[in-house]
Amino acid sequence: MSENTAALLEAFEKLAPSEKLDFANAILRRLPLVDSGALDDEDVAAAGDIIAAMLDKEEDDANTR
């Protein structure tokens, strides 16, 4: 990973949750469309688990402030 990329990730981690979402959306809009094929149920379930864990962590972090 380049130093620039690492610096971007470090700055991203310091953003408020709403700013992280805005930033992620902006990045995703800039990526080229890629056809990676159909997702199977296991892929969708795994992605859902990851998102749920991220949201739980954000909620826990917000409750400890």
Q: What is the pLDDT of residue 62?
A: 83
What is the model's pTM? 0.49
Q: Average pLDDT per run of 10 along the chain, which is 65 residues long?
A: 94 94 93 84 94 92 79
**What's the pLDDT score for residue 65?**
67
- Count Cα atoms within 13 angstroms, Cβ side, for 42: 0
Which DSSP helix (H) or strand (E) runs through 19?
Answer: helix 17-30
Q: Measured in Å, how far apart are the chain's first and last C-alpha atoms?
A: 32
